Structure 1
Amino acid sequence: MAGSVQPRQLAFVLPHAESLTRDNFLEGPANEAALALIERWPDWPNRIMWLSGEEGSGKSHLASIWAEQSGARTISAHALAAASVPNALATGALVVEDLKAGGFDERALFHLMNLAREDAAFVLMTGRVAPSALEIELRDLRSRLRAVPVVMLAAPDDLLFRALIVKFCADRQLAVDESLVGYLASRIERSYGAARRAIDLLDSEALRLGRPVTRALAAELLRNA
Structure 2
Amino acid sequence: MTMYAQQLSFDLPAKPALGREDFYVAPSNAMAVTLLTSHVNWPQGKLVLTGPAGSGKTHLTHVWATQAGARIVRAERLPDADLCDLAMGPVAVEDVDEIAADEAAQDALFHLHNMVLAAGHKLVMTGRNAPNLWALSLPDLQSRVQGATHASLEAPDDMLLSIVLAKLFNDRQIAPKPDVIPYLVGHMNRSFVAADQVVRQLDHLSLAEKRSLSRPLAIRALAEIQRHA
| Residue of structure 2 in register with 1:188 after alignment | 188
- 1:200 alignment counterpart: 200
- Secondary structure at the aligned position of 2:41 is classed as coil
Q: Does 1:66 align with 2:64?
A: yes
Q: Work out which of the residue numbers 78, 81, 95 in structure 1 matches 2:76.
A: 78
1:83 Cα offset (Å): 5.6
Q: Cα 1:101–1:74, aligned 2, differ >3 Å: closer, same or farther?
A: closer
Question: Contact conserved, 2:47 with 2:124, CA < 8 A, in 1?
Answer: yes
Secondary structure at the residue paired with 1:100?
helix
Instruction: Report the CA distance between 1:7 and its aligned residue.
Output: 3.4
CA distance in 2, matches of 1:117, 1:223: 50
Q: Is the 8 A contact 1:82 1:109 kept in 2?
A: no
Q: Indicate how the Cα distance of structure 1 residues 23 and 111 shifts in structure 2: closer, same or farther if over 3 A, else same.
A: same
1:45–1:213 distance in 2 versus 1, CA, 3 Å? same
Structure 2 residue identity aligned to 1:163:
I
Deviation of residue 6 (structure 1)?
5.5
In structure 2, stretches of 5+ residues that fail to align are none
SS in 2 for 1:49: strand
What is the deviation of 1:115? 1.1
> What TM-score, normalized by structure 2, do the two folds share?
0.89
Q: Are the counterparts in 1 of residues 97 and 136 from structure 2 also a CA contact under 8 Å?
A: no
- Of the candidates 90, 94, 105, which is equivalent to residue 91 of structure 2? 94
CA distance in 1 between partners of 2:99 and 2:70 (Å): 25
Q: Distance in 1 between matches of 2:182 and 2:75?
A: 37
Using the TM superposition, give the Cα deviation of residue 222 of structure 1 relative to its aligned residue in structure 2, in angstroms.
1.8
Residue aligned with 1:213, SS: coil
Report the alpha carbon displacement of residue 209 of structure 1 after superposing the two structures with TM.
1.5
**Aligned pairs (5 A) from 1:1-225:** 7=3, 9-10=6-7, 11-81=9-79, 84-90=82-88, 92-102=89-99, 104=102, 105-225=105-225
In the alignment, residue 27 of structure 1 is paired with which amino acid? V
Report the count of equivalent residues: 220
Q: Secondary structure in 2 aligned to 1:173?
A: coil
Runs of 4+ in structure 1 deviating by more than 3 angstroms, as ranges, are 5-8, 101-104
Q: Name the CA shift for 1:35/1:83 in 2 (closer, same or farther; >3 Å).
A: closer
Do the aligned partners of 1:82 and 1:107 also contact (CA within 8 Å) in 2?
A: no
1:175 CA drift (Å): 1.2
**DSSP 3-state at the match of 1:30:** coil
For the residues of structure 1 that align with 2:35 and 2:18, how far apart are their CA atoms? 17
Give the residue type in structure 1 aligned to 2:45.
Answer: R
**C-alpha RMSD of the superposition:** 1.8
Q: Deviations over 1:113-158 (max 9, x none)?
A: 1112221221111111122101211121122222112110001111
> Where do 5+ consecutive residues of structure 1 fail to align?
none
